[in-house]
Amino acid sequence: MNTGNWIAQLNEITDLFLTEFGSLSPEQLNFKPNNKKWSIAQNIDHLIKINNSYFPVITAVRNNSLKLPFTSKIEFIVNSFGKMILKAVQPERKRRMKTFSVWEPAQSNFSSDIIEKFKISQDELKTLIEGSDELIKNGAVIYSPANKKIVYKLETAYDIIILHERRHFEQAMEIKKLLS
């Protein structure tokens, strides 16, 4: 896939979030049906945290300064991790997943500017993706921002980010339906 496709998908996802949640009140954005489910705002905060955690990793691979573990040279491991994570973030959720603590959303109430913060984060992500074609062509490998031992291709990281955002959009929509 080329970078234009990822950027188009991010634009689509951003528009979905803005359209569906942009006019909600802070009370609606923070509504939780129970303590086991995240609010719409928590889903958005989680996506912002994940995307922001990728920024230094992607910047380092662009600058050729990313220090990878030896497993990054073993294609089978790189591909296996990538496939495993891609499968886990599919929007068609079969079961809940526990996130890494670094990506846990804040438990406090969010103001409605969480939507604007999401848009800004998306714009920053698109800027990083632009110009990655050469890295993708060369099979650049990165590690997960949550665990440096988990390695996968940069193009897989972009797919993971997109699918993960779609997954959390669906999760947030489930909460929105409960508001009616």
Sign of CA dihedral 147, 36, 42, 80: positive
Superfamily holding 3-179:
dinb family like domain (1.20.120.450)
Sequence-separated (6 or more) residues with CB below 8 Å from residue 50: 103, 145, 161, 164
pTM comes to 0.90
Domain borders along the chain are: 3-179
Q: Could you read off the pLDDT tens digit of each residue along the chain, which spans 180 residues?
A: 689 999 999 999 999 999 999 999 999 999 999 988 899 999 999 999 999 999 999 999 999 999 999 999 999 999 999 998 888 887 776 656 555 455 567 777 899 999 999 999 999 999 999 989 999 999 999 999 999 999 999 999 999 999 999 999 999 999 999 997
User: How buried is residue 175: exposed, middle or buried, by Cβ count under 10 Å (0-12/13-18/19+)?
Assistant: buried
